[in-house]
């Protein structure tokens, strides 16, 4: 079992399906975990050692204070998993009755804020703390939609931005002892996916995937474990999609 001298694990989006599973995973292994999100399920039971902070992940000062209030000055962060995000489907143009409607600018901003700006805010705040100790690992969440996907202009653009951010951070922070990588997820069988994508579409994606199924939570966790444990992997975008985008 892990011991507390390994440093804290911070999970942004810790109230979501993937984020809460990751927080529970590390907490059950004896790690000190700080989960950050705008909301949490109060009925959800968590292992000991997990601290939860309600915070606006788009607000730098709120994020900084949440970390400072949860960790002592002498405590370090060994891993940040940036699991914050929002799946969104909206066509660029669509007929609504007799009129041609365009993609809403408001939802574009909301989706890019949730999937790109929030990870940037959290990563920069955590990276500053990691640099002071000369070590740390950040894992961002991308998606196969980063390569383009019908009906996901905002989501795909934001995830492409995450990949560019990941590579840039890896170049800048690597010399300072901080590695930055990302997982590009396909269709993972969790509540948020089933809420965002209708069942018939999910079945179609499963059939088109060479492995013939959706991904599992433990497979996402396994990819993050690899990226966090291999000290010579930096700037990688690891696809966890069952080969869907081959």
**Residue 188 β-bridge partners:** 215
Residue 155 annotated in active site: yes
- What's the CA gap between 204 and 206, in Å, rounded? 5
Catalytic residue, candidates 155, 162, 180, 228: 155
Structure tokens at 220: 């996402």
Long-range CB pairs of 164-173 (<8 Å, 24+ gap) are 165/116, 165/119, 165/120, 165/123, 165/140, 166/140, 166/142, 166/235, 166/237, 167/235, 167/237, 169/123, 169/127, 169/138, 170/234, 170/235, 171/235, 173/127, 173/130, 173/131, 173/138
- What's the CA gap between 225 and 37, in Å, rounded? 22
- Cβ 137 vs Cβ 178: under 8 Å: yes
Structure tokens at 39: 């909301």
Structure tokens at 160: 């492409």
- What's the CA gap between 159 and 146, in Å, rounded? 5
- What's the CA gap between 186 and 215, in Å, rounded? 7
Inter-axis angle of helices 17-27 and 217-229, nearest 10? 60
Tell me the catalytic residues. Answer: 155
């Amino acid at each position: 079992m892990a011991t507390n001298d390994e440093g804290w694990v911070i999970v942004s989006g810790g109230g979501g399906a993937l984020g809460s599973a990751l927080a529970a995973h590390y907490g059950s292994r004896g790690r000190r975990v700080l989960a950050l999100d705008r909301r949490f399920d109060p009925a959800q039971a968590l292992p000991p050692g997990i601290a939860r902070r309600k915070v606006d992940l788009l607000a730098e000062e709120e994020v900084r204070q949440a970390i400072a209030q949860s960790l002592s000055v002498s405590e370090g962060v060994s891993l940040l998993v940036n699991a914050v995000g929002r799946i969104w489907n909206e066509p660029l143009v669509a007929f609504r009755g007799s009129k041609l409607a365009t993609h809403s600018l408001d939802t574009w901003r909301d989706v890019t804020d949730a999937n790109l700006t929030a990870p940037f805010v959290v990563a920069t705040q955590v990276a500053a703390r990691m640099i002071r100790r000369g070590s740390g690992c950040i894992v961002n969440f991308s998606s196969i939609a980063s390569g383009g996907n019908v009906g996901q202009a905002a989501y795909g653009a934001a995830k492409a931005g995450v990949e560019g951010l990941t590579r840039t951070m890896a170049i800048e922070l690597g010399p300072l002892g901080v590695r930055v990588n990302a997982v590009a997820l396909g269709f993972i069988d969790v509540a948020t996916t089933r809420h965002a994508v209708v069942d018939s579409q999910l079945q179609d994606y499963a059939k088109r995937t060479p492995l013939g199924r959706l991904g599992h939570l433990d497979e996402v966790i396994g990819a993050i474990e690899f990226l966090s444990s291999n000290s010579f992997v930096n700037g990688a975008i690891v696809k966890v999609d069952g080969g869907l985008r081959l």
